[in-house]
Amino acid sequence: MECDILVIGAGIFGLSSAYYLKEENPGKKVVVIDKYGGPGQGNSAKSEGGFRNLFASETNFLLADSTIDWFKHMEEDLGYHLSLSYIGYLFLLSEEQYTGQKAAWDRIRGWGAEMRVLEREELQEKIPALVTDFGDDEEAELLGLGSVDYGVFGKKCGSIDADALTRAYEEEFLKLGGEVSYGTEAKSLVLKPELELEIPGEPFVWQDSHITGAETSKGDIHADTTVVAAGVWSGGLLDPLGIDSFMRPKKRQLFAFKDIRLEDLFKVEGLNEYGVMPLTILPKAAILFRPELSESSIWLGCADNLGRKFELEEDPQAEEGYYTDNVYHVLVKYFPCFEDVRPMNSWAGQYAVNSYDELPVVAPGPGMIYVGAASGSGIMKCDAIGRIAAALYAGEEEAELYGGRRFRVADIGIHRRRVERESLVI
Amino acid sequence: MECDILVIGAGIFGLSSAYYLKEENPGKKVVVIDKYGGPGQGNSAKSEGGFRNLFASETNFLLADSTIDWFKHMEEDLGYHLSLSYIGYLFLLSEEQYTGQKAAWDRIRGWGAEMRVLEREELQEKIPALVTDFGDDEEAELLGLGSVDYGVFGKKCGSIDADALTRAYEEEFLKLGGEVSYGTEAKSLVLKPELELEIPGEPFVWQDSHITGAETSKGDIHADTTVVAAGVWSGGLLDPLGIDSFMRPKKRQLFAFKDIRLEDLFKVEGLNEYGVMPLTILPKAAILFRPELSESSIWLGCADNLGRKFELEEDPQAEEGYYTDNVYHVLVKYFPCFEDVRPMNSWAGQYAVNSYDELPVVAPGPGMIYVGAASGSGIMKCDAIGRIAAALYAGEEEAELYGGRRFRVADIGIHRRRVERESLVI
């Protein structure tokens, strides 16, 4: 098959990139392939679906803030049902944590993020289900739990149906005449010399070479430009050519709860319009949970880092003991309503972690564009990333993000990368 | 076994780190282990052994410039035979290349690097063996070879016996009472909670954990601090704990020649005190070679990048066709004296490539220090890296490099990394 632009990966980055590439190049044949049977089936649709504009890196703030505006546009103007819920994000912090992060929070406020700092009394009043002080609880001490002294609440934050979002990009892309081919696995990228001599052994080191498409499970696809957006699978395509994917895969597990004992989490006044808990990040062990309004359930995850191996897994699974032995003990101290509550469902996906600076990468290569290293927050930046990929393809210095802000394309590449490392990683 | 500091890897970074750690902490038990039977047997001793202070990144310049001064000290004052030869580095460049790099060269000169730009006439006069212009040679055109319009010559550059250098650090380390154990392979790092509860499943996510040593082929070694300096093998130790090694392994091949037809390369007046070719980098295909004075041979390598896979190989081998089909065609155009000359010997090693910025990493972790990602130029920066590792261990903000210049330790870490990306990669 021949096409102008081949996008490998129908995840959120692949489809948002494909959409903007097709929109800006309507005459070009843009083809998206994915080894799975539908959009977002790799890891995108397994996301917790949280979104926030509270990032310590200004680049991340820009990417997310404009993407969140776009979500609203997609729902209100384009008519997609994305289950967009502005429940907010609530970072629960000890005095020490808050003090350590204060400069970052002030900077974020300076960029215009709507946020509010709640002190302990207000937290207790609004969230009776929360324990803010463990007194002389020996178990809490053993667990190393600090008190909750502050809550930082972000308003332009919440949750979205990541699966629906991915499908919405696909639909928009298809409307423009883009093509998708599922069940089509890219086996390898094809590297060829600019000037083929038809000699065995090409490309030689003295030839200028570039990527000319991919060998797939359904035959070769030739493309002028190949967009590698295969998430955690990008390494398998790029490593054989000695091109870095700037990410390593790490498993993330999610647990869903539906239990009458958790009803207090759906009765929290004064933080959001729904009267529910925001997406809440505990002060310890990177545990977070949020209400999923569509099914009155709680989705809970834990961004464990040290000790959680880097490894590509084809079908990662949640581990039973991970909740009961690990997360539960901390969770139930801060939120005793979880006592004896067990998950009704669990699943796992994989982050493509860029440990250098925890930001995504949109970088050019010979005959290709790499879009990846989402580092666990790709959903909430997807629209900006797609626009940047299209701007890079067009050779533009700047991309226009939704809402009109401009973004220097090279900032998020590699050779002239200019980002602040993200410190508010969840 | 118990020790204060366990250094994994008796390569050049491991041994230089061990040496400075022991020197600054004479009362501590410092143990170096390596799976091979002697120092530098992984990749250090397989190096081409070139050194240069001409780097476009000021950080790299500092690391290399001070290390080169130390080499001299080691040979002149400490009495080691390192085959230190100041043959210089000669970058052969087309007009276009030189113009593109001119700003970088000017910056390097500004830092005090001794260098000189030679124009074509001077190159031709000094190096009759070099072809600078291919006229209407169709083969040269097919190979995409540009003319040689400039040569940038670096004076504080040359070659060193990497094997002898590694052994010298080992000897100095042993003199201080350091211990080495060869044939001892680190199988895995041990991660334990600060406060062990002796419950199965530790460490849990709510425990603060740290590395407490390694399981090795000769039993467990417990250490207060573990220095991971295992080069391309560091990923195998760090990945299981989800700690990034910031490098990927890439094979590099070397070919050695000894042939009467190459004698002109040993008769080059006016560039160095030996009257030989400097280490010379061709304008095309990243091919470089240098005279090895101890055996009147030429060592040649090629820093092929695109298409050269990232992969850890236990025993990488040079490929016969790599020289004859790839390197040879370019080489013989610029230096016709290579016509029909075949290598007498060849070998291969692996670079630990940090594609992000092409600089090494010295970074703290829980109970550990990671020293690696040498990116192919570790030998020439080894002394500075060892000093920085020791300063990091001591909790110092700055390291004092040989000669007295100071270096901010965090600059070469990850969280507060502050380096310029290296563009003069060979």
Mind listing the pLDDT tens digit for each residue in A368-418? Answer: 999 999 999 999 999 999 999 999 999 999 999 999 999 999 999 999 999
**Which of A325, A323, A320 has its CA nearest to residue A302?**
A323
- Rounded mean pLDDT of chain B? 97
pLDDT digits (tens, 9 = 90+) for A154-199: 999 999 999 999 999 999 999 999 999 999 999 999 999 999 988 8
* B414 has pLDDT over 90: yes
From the list B188, B216, B162, B169, the residue with the least C-alpha distance to B35 is B216
A79 within a domain of the structure (yes/no): no
Tell which A residues from 248 to 307 touch B, by Cβ distance under 8 Å.
Answer: 248, 250, 284-287, 302, 304-307
- For residue B353, the chain A residues in CB contact (below 8 A) are 244
Q: Give me the count of residues in chain A.
A: 426
- Do B367 and B219 share a structural domain? yes
Whole-number Å distance between alpha carbons of A23 and B192: 52
Averaged over A62-89, what is the pLDDT?
98
**Looking at the complex, does the CB of residue B373 fall below 8 Å from at least one CB of chain A?**
no
Q: What is the CATH number of the domain that holds B325?
A: 3.30.9.10
CA distance A66 to A157: 12
| CB atoms near residue B315 (< 10 Å) | 5
CA distance B306 to chain A (A): 6
Task: Give the Cβ contact number of residue B330 at 10 Å.
Answer: 23
- Report the alpha-carbon angle A276-A281-A285, nearest 5: 145
State the Cα–Cα distance between residues A162 and A46, nearest whole angstrom.
Answer: 8
Over residues B381-390, mean pLDDT:
98
Number of domains in chain A: 2
Answer whether A206 sits within 8 Å of B353, measured CB to CB: no
Q: Is the dihedral of CA B122, B123, B127, B131 positive or negative?
A: negative
What is the residue-averaged pLDDT of chain A? 97
CA distance B127 to B121: 10
> Residue A302 falls within a domain, yes or no?
yes
DSSP structure string for A326-349: IIHHHHHHH-GGGTT---SEEEEE
Same domain, yes or no, for B226 and B260?
Answer: no
Amino acid at A225: T
Q: Examine the pLDDT at A91 and tell me if it is beyond 90.
A: yes
Task: Please give the Cα distance from A42 to A181 (Å, whole number).
Answer: 15
Check: CB of residue A233 under 8 Å from CB of residue A312: yes
- How near does any CA of chain A get to the CA of B76, in Å? 40
As a whole number, mean pLDDT of residues B155-165 equals 98
Looking at the fold, whether B324 and B382 belong to one and the same domain comes out as: no
Please name the helix (run of DSSP H) or strand (run of DSSP E) that holds residue B103, with its range, or none: helix B95-110
- Give a three-class secondary structure readout of A53-108: CCCCCHHHHHHHHHHHHHHHHHHHCCCCCCCCECCCEEEEECHHHHHHHHHHHHHH
Q: Shortest CB distance from B242 goes to which of A203, A241, A306?
A: A306
User: Mapping DSSP to helix (H, G, I), strand (E, B) and coil, where does residue A298 land?
Assistant: strand
* pLDDT > 90 fraction of chain A, expressed in percent and rounded: 97
| Alpha-helix residue ranges (DSSP H) falling in A176-327 | 234-238, 320-321
The distance from CA B279 to its chain's CA centroid, rounded to whole angstroms, is 15
Nearest residue on chain A to B240, alpha-carbon basis = A309
A234 in Cβ contact with A312 (< 8 Å): no
Give contacts of A138 with chain B, Cβ < 8 Å: none
Residue A92 burial (CB count, 10 A):
26
B308 closest CB neighbour out of A242, A310, A421: A242
Task: Specify whether A137 is located in the same domain as A257.
Answer: yes
CATH number of the domain at B219, please: 3.50.50.60
Cα–Cα distances in Å, from A277 out to A86, A158, A337, B337? 11, 10, 13, 77
A260 shares a domain with A142: yes
Do residues A16 and A170 make contact, with C-beta atoms less than 8 angstroms apart? Answer: no
Report DSSP letters for B27-53, one per residue: TS-EEEEESSSSTTTTTGGGS--EE--
How much is the average pLDDT of B351-372?
Answer: 98
- Unique residue bearing structure tokens 């530790």: B202
The CA-atom distances, in angstroms, between B51 and each of B159, B161, B269, B377 are 6, 10, 21, 8
Q: Angle, to 10 degrees, between the axis of helix A382-393 and the axis of helix A12-24?
A: 50
Of the partner residues A239, A307, A309, the one whose CB lies closest to the CB of residue B310: A239
Size of interface A-B (CB pairs under 8 A): 128
User: Which one, of A346, A14, A384, A374, lies nearest residue A166 by Cα?
Assistant: A14
Q: How far apart are CA B77 and CA B403, in angstroms?
A: 14
Q: How far is CA B187 from CA A113, B331, B362, in A?
A: 47, 43, 22
For residue B337, name the pLDDT band (cuts at 50, 70, 90): very high
Q: Is ipTM beyond 0.85?
A: yes
Q: Which residue of B202, B205, B209 is the best one to mutate when testing the A interface, meaning the one whose CB has the most A CBs within 10 A?
A: B205
User: Could you say which of A241, A309, A417 has the minimum Cβ distance to residue B242?
Assistant: A309
Domain C-terminal end among B313, B329, B351: B351
pLDDT reported for residue B412: 98
In a domain, residue B74? The reply is no
B202 lies within 8 A of chain A by CB: no
Q: Which of A239, A307, A329 sits opposite B311 (nearest CB)?
A: A239
In this predicted structure, what is the pLDDT of residue B20? 98
Decide: helix, strand or coil at residue A51: strand
User: Is B221 near chain A, with CB under 8 Å?
Assistant: no
- Residues A138 and A282 reside in one and the same domain: yes
User: What is the pLDDT at residue B426?
Assistant: 83
Confidence of residue A208 (pLDDT cuts 50, 70, 90): very high
Strand bridging mode A279-281 / B209-216: unpaired
Alpha carbon separation from B372 to A310, B351, B352 (Å, rounded)? 18, 10, 7
> CA–CA separation, B209 vs B206, rounded Å?
9
Looking at residue B320, its pLDDT comes to 85
Site from B190, B191, B197, B204 to mutate, A interface, most A CB atoms within 10 angstroms: B204
Q: Is the peptide bond before B203 cis (omega within 30 degrees of 0)?
A: yes
Confidence (pLDDT) at A426: 83
Interchain pair B206, A330: CB under 8 A: yes
Evaluate whether residue B263 is within a structural domain.
yes
B27-56 pLDDT tens trace? 999 999 999 999 999 999 999 999 999 999
Same-domain status, B265 and B124: yes
In a domain, B325, yes or no: yes
**Paired tokens of A90:** 């609530």
Looking at the domain assignment, is residue A25 inside a domain? yes
Cis peptide before B283 (omega within 30 of 0): no
Query: Which residue range(s) make up the domain with A287?
Result: 89-154+249-351
A267 pLDDT band (50/70/90 cuts)? very high
Nearest to B272 by CA among B75, B84, B104, B119: B84
Q: How far apart are CA B50 and CA B289, in angstroms?
A: 10
Q: How far apart (Å, rounded) are the C-alpha atoms in residues A389 and A227?
A: 9
In a domain, B72, yes or no: no
Tell me the percentage of chain A whose pLDDT exceeds 70. 100
Nearest to B379 by CA among B74, B97, B5: B74
Per-residue model confidence as pLDDT tens digits over B240-272:
999 999 999 999 999 999 999 999 999 999 999
Residues of B in contact with A306 (CB under 8 A): 191, 209, 241-243, 366
Q: B130 and B116 in one domain? A: yes
- Chain A residues inside the 8 Å CB shell of B425: none
Is there a single domain that holds both residue B174 and residue B135? no
Is B389 a member of any domain?
A: yes
Place B159 in a pLDDT band, splitting at 50, 70 and 90: very high
For the beta carbon of residue B162, count every other beta carbon within 10 angstroms. 27
Q: Based on the fold, state whether residues A321 and A176 are members of the same structural domain.
A: no
Q: Which of B243, B285, B310 sits opposite A242 (nearest CB)?
A: B310
Q: Of the candidates A316, A322, A317, A276, which has an alpha carbon nearest to the alpha carbon of residue A302?
A: A322
Same domain for A231 and A97?
no
- The residue-averaged pLDDT of B413-423 equals 95
Q: Which of B333, B351, B369 is the last residue of a domain?
A: B351
Of B314, B335, B351, the one marking the end of a domain is B351
Q: Is the pLDDT of residue A320 over 90?
A: no
Residues A16, A123 within the same domain: no
Nearest residue on chain B to A235, judged by CA atoms?
A: B310
The pLDDT of A345-368, averaged and rounded, is 97
